[in-house]
Homo-oligomer: A and B are copies of this chain.
């Protein structure tokens, strides 16, 4: 099963990372949703009820408080770990305590990569410890480490222009300045595979972030099938720039890299919670986030916030007795960080029912102040969503961003033509904390999280309840 997922993953990953030219606008040009406009507008009072309940009523601060208890109790929840499985059990219990009992878990095999010793020491031109986080699934070095000269590249183009002699036997440092995650993360995901093509003995990347307090950023990477696997890690912006300055001055930089990790396959679970629809229970509006995290920080932002707004949606609807025509399904994906493993298993397992997914949503890029949705789908589908988003003008969350495929888990669902969206939010500082020890509750804000919860819940309700399916 895991192997099958992996193959599927390798086929899809190139598409995810070659994905969208986004363009932002509040109103889709030439949208005409006809009578539906009036119907959608009639949900205004429901939106207000949900808003009041979450922002100033009984659910006020509930998302934040539950998220806080959860991440404090479990901390980091890496794929394949016992703590991740315990946290899944905890979420099931938390949901059952809300009298939601339509809960299914689906087992799958997941990678379990465990970071052990990691140490990088600059030996020349002077002695210095280099802060490090090995990249996901990196192999270990020999016990004495890898010691070699460093060769620095600002981008793949520079690397392509280098000769094999320039790279062979060296440690490659890819030092790209952060532009967007989409543009810069390929240096993390594919840097080691590329460096190995020319005989590098290890590869390092400048952490994928625009800002740092000497903070290394973890993340997954993928070796290529036919290329030697070499140890690979992220270092900080500060150390990457320091090495580059030495290198540009013609001073030889020699590093010793010691890394040790273990890797095995374990069993984990996707968790599916249904609030069954009254009229078309077979039709699904999915709200989702991933429950696993990296092994640093608390995974409060990535993706505790997305997990908890999705947990909250069916609970709030049940509490308010707002049971829509279609089923609202909350999914807690497992093993997102190690390569979208949970979602792939789900897609595979449910491929014969995929026509039943009316709309799929994931929040995995922060739960700061909501601004709207990034929507994948046909123009007709986007017009309907844009009409729904008009109901959120009062909280400044009416923006629709057009995307071919939202990032993260649901990319693997919507690429099959299923319409979907990710939460568009005020996440300008998201990458400051992403995959670092700083991804903790200190990043989260209770008022903003309440707005996300209310927005997420109300959008899911309307889509699940309106008279038409979201067209494909």
Chain A interface residues toward B at CB < 8 A: 68, 72-75, 125-126, 128, 131, 212-215, 237-238, 241-242, 245-246, 297-298, 432-433, 436-438, 440-442
Tell me if A213 and B437 are in contact (CB < 8 A).
yes
| A245 nearest CB neighbor, chain B only | B72
Tell me if A245 and B68 are in contact (CB < 8 A).
yes
How far is the CB of A363 from the nearest CB of chain B, in Å? 22
Given the complex, which residues of B lie within 8 Å of A246, measured CB to CB?
72
How far is the CB of A207 from the nearest CB of chain B, in Å? 11
Tell me if B212 and A442 are in contact (CB < 8 A).
yes
Tell me if B73 and A241 are in contact (CB < 8 A).
no
Tell me if A72 and B437 are in contact (CB < 8 A).
no
Tell me if A441 and B213 are in contact (CB < 8 A).
no
Q: How many copies does the complex hold?
A: 2
Lowest 6 CB-CB distances: which A-B pairs, in order? A213-B438, A214-B437, A238-B440, A214-B438, A213-B215, A213-B213
| A68 nearest CB neighbor, chain B only | B245
How far is the CB of A36 from the nearest CB of chain B, in Å? 46
Residue of A73, A128, A442 contacting most chain B CB atoms (<10 Å): A442
How far is the CB of A219 from the nearest CB of chain B, in Å? 16
Partner of A436 from the list B213, B237, B432 (CB cut-off 8 Å) is: B213
A238-B442, A241-B441 known; A213+B72 contact, CB < 8 A: no
Complex Cα–Cα for A42 and B74 (A):
68
Tell me if A238 and B438 are in contact (CB < 8 A).
yes
Partner of A241 from the list B432, B433, B442 (CB cut-off 8 Å) is: B442
Given the complex, which residues of B lie within 8 Å of A438, measured CB to CB?
212-215, 238
| A433 nearest CB neighbor, chain B only | B213
Partner of A214 from the list B74, B125, B238, B440 (CB cut-off 8 Å) is: B440
Given the complex, which residues of B lie within 8 Å of A125, measured CB to CB?
73
Partner of A442 from the list B75, B131, B237, B441 (CB cut-off 8 Å) is: B237
How far is the CB of A447 from the nearest CB of chain B, in Å? 18
Partner of A128 from the list B68, B75, B213, B237 (CB cut-off 8 Å) is: B75
How far is the CB of A211 from the nearest CB of chain B, in Å? 8
Tell me if A126 and B440 are in contact (CB < 8 A).
no
Complex Cα–Cα for A31 and B403 (A):
63
Given the complex, which residues of B lie within 8 Å of A436, measured CB to CB?
213-214
Given the complex, which residues of B lie within 8 Å of A75, measured CB to CB?
126, 128
A68-B245, A214-B215, A214-B437 known; A73+B432 contact, CB < 8 A: no
Given the complex, which residues of B lie within 8 Å of A440, measured CB to CB?
214, 238, 241-242
Given the complex, which residues of B lie within 8 Å of A213, measured CB to CB?
212-213, 215, 432-433, 436-438
Tell me if B214 and A297 are in contact (CB < 8 A).
yes
Given the complex, which residues of B lie within 8 Å of A126, measured CB to CB?
73-75
| A440 nearest CB neighbor, chain B only | B238
Given the complex, which residues of B lie within 8 Å of A215, measured CB to CB?
213-215, 438
Given the complex, which residues of B lie within 8 Å of A128, measured CB to CB?
75
Tell me if B242 and A131 are in contact (CB < 8 A).
no
Given the complex, which residues of B lie within 8 Å of A241, measured CB to CB?
440-442
How far is the CB of A433 from the nearest CB of chain B, in Å? 6
Complex Cα–Cα for A438 and B207 (A):
14
Given the complex, which residues of B lie within 8 Å of A437, measured CB to CB?
131, 213-214, 238
Given the complex, which residues of B lie within 8 Å of A238, measured CB to CB?
437-438, 440-442
Q: Known contacts A212-B438, A213-B433, A238-B438; can you find 4 more A-B pairs with CB under 8 A?
A: A214-B436, A214-B438, A238-B440, A242-B440
Complex Cα–Cα for A433 and B215 (A):
12
| A296 nearest CB neighbor, chain B only | B214
Complex Cα–Cα for A432 and B215 (A):
13
Return 16 A-B CB contacts under 8 Å, by A number.
Answer: A72-B242, A72-B246, A75-B126, A212-B438, A213-B215, A213-B433, A213-B437, A214-B215, A214-B436, A214-B440, A238-B441, A238-B442, A241-B440, A241-B442, A242-B440, A245-B441
How far is the CB of A434 from the nearest CB of chain B, in Å? 10
| A125 nearest CB neighbor, chain B only | B73
Complex Cα–Cα for A238 and B299 (A):
13
Given the complex, which residues of B lie within 8 Å of A72, measured CB to CB?
242, 245-246
Complex Cα–Cα for A73 and B242 (A):
10
Complex Cα–Cα for A298 and B128 (A):
11
How far is the CB of A446 from the nearest CB of chain B, in Å? 13
How far is the CB of A74 from the nearest CB of chain B, in Å? 8
How far is the CB of A194 from the nearest CB of chain B, in Å? 26
